[in-house]
Amino acid sequence: MKRVYNFSPGPSALPLPVLEKAAAEMCDAHGSGQSVMEMSHRSKDYKPIIEKTESLLRELMGIPANYKVLFLQGGASLQFAMVPLNLAAGDSGKKAAFIDTGVWADKAAKEAAKFTGVDVRASSKDRAYTYIPAAPAAKPDDAYYHITLNNTIVGTKWVGLPETGNVPLVSDISSCILSEPLNVSKFGILYAGAQKNLGPAGVTVVIIREDLIGHAPAKTPIMLRYDTHVEEGSMYNTPPCYSIYMVGLVLEWLKNLGGVPAIAKLNQEKAGLFYQYLDNSKLFYSPVEKPFRSLMNIPFIARVEDAEKRTELENRFVKEAAAAGLINLAGHRLVGGMRASIYNAMPIEGVQALIQFMEQFENK
Ligand SMILES: *Cc1c(COP(=O)(O)O)cnc(C)c1O
């Protein structure tokens, strides 16, 4: 069997033991004589699977009892619309506050603006999103306050949280969920597409405080209301059953590893090694300001003055790395350069192999 080190930003690498377990259970899951893919979502065989996934997530994230956990479809991108539709689409005239820290934050704000007033309170666009701007406190009548905790494309992360008082703090945690400890009780809503740090694509986790449920206007489509999915336990219609099962396996793997504190330590170590290499390299550098560097997504750029020559060298790097079994290192099409996404499932050996390859490339 051939396995590469996959630095894809998403969908991304999954832990090998998880894939092996899924393979072993593929045709006969838990003695049911069926694959999880074939089970009725309302059957006695499937029910423990979704329940276990939820209870593991609650345990690993320390989700308080007054929060609901939902398994939805539509990706983080659908949450860009669902959040304003449920929290701010009435006639209150309230505005939603946004901090613009990159492509996804900007997309979330633009989508929200279709349903509510939006006020972008700070932005780091002036320096190509290479830092997190100082975020002002919420205004008491804000409908909600939205931040993108880890910025997947530019490779920044928040180091503190804005003061929001009684205004619900909402965060897109697609690319950092379960990578470090997070105090869920500071937030009104957290959401994450699974395909970065949780499992395969197809399921989106939403964690929502109970008092924020049930405020969507009557005309809101039933599938876009949080209360619909809360009342039906994420089973108003057929949920993404297999993806939920896979998330459960990933959570089980994480728990066996020692949970969030253990993976956070490992993530610090992995990212630390890579940044240390970049900061000492004569050929590559990190464009991100030090205090805001992401543990999960690490963009890097070749130090070549001429733009055309730089692109040429970077293309060669990405190609040669792939040939060496280090794949998906091209930067996002909007920002160029290169990027290594080193989510929870990336072993430290993968980071070490990448550094070694980069040293050799540099010497050549
Ligand atoms: C990948 C990503 C998205 C988009 O997620 P989809 O599930 O594809 O809609 C949104 N926000 C962040 C921070 C991401 O990393």
* pLDDT tens, the chain, 364 aa long: 899 999 999 999 999 999 999 999 999 999 999 999 999 999 999 999 999 999 999 999 999 999 999 999 999 999 999 999 999 977 678 899 999 999 999 999 999 999 999 999 999 999 999 999 999 999 999 999 999 999 999 999 999 999 999 999 999 999 999 999 999 999 999 999 999 999 999 999 999 999 999 999 999 999 999 999 999 999 999 999 999 999 999 999 999 999 999 999 999 999 999 999 999 999 999 999 999 999 999 999 999 999 999 999 999 999 999 999 999 999 998 888 999 999 999 999 999 999 999 999 999 9
Is residue 179 within 8 Å of 264, Cβ to Cβ? yes
**Can you tell me the distance from the alpha carbon of 319 to that of 119, in angstroms, rounded to the nearest whole number?**
42
Taken as a whole, the chain contains a residue count of: 364
User: Model's pTM, two decimal places?
Assistant: 0.98
CA of 48 to the centre of ligand 1 (A): 28
Burial class for 31, CB neighbours closer than 10 Å (0-12, 13-18, 19+): exposed
8 lines ligand 1 (CB under 6 A): no
Long-range contact pairs involving 291-294 (C-beta distance under 8 Å, separation at least 24): 291/131, 291/159, 292/130, 292/131, 292/132, 292/156, 292/157, 292/158, 292/159, 293/155, 293/156, 293/157, 294/150, 294/151, 294/152, 294/155, 294/156, 294/157, 294/175, 294/176
**Can you tell me the distance from the alpha carbon of 104 to that of 339, in angstroms, rounded to the nearest whole number?**
16
**Looking at ligand 1, which residue's alpha carbon is closest to its atom 2?**
174
54 lines ligand 1 (CB under 6 A): no
Closest ligand 1 atom, residue 149 Cα: 13
Dihedral sign from CA coordinates of 238, 243, 248, 254? negative
Closest ligand 1 atom, residue 10 Cα: 1
**Can you tell me the distance from the alpha carbon of 230 to that of 247, in angstroms, rounded to the nearest whole number?**
19
pLDDT given for residue 336 in this prediction: 86
Query: Amino acid identity of 233?
Result: G
CA of 162 to the centre of ligand 1 (A): 22
Is residue 124 within 8 Å of 131, Cβ to Cβ? yes
Among residues 203, 161, 204, 213, the alpha carbon closest in space to that of 182 is found at 161
Active site residues: 104, 172, 196
β-strand partners of 72 = 204
84 lines ligand 1 (CB under 6 A): no
CA of 103 to the centre of ligand 1 (A): 10
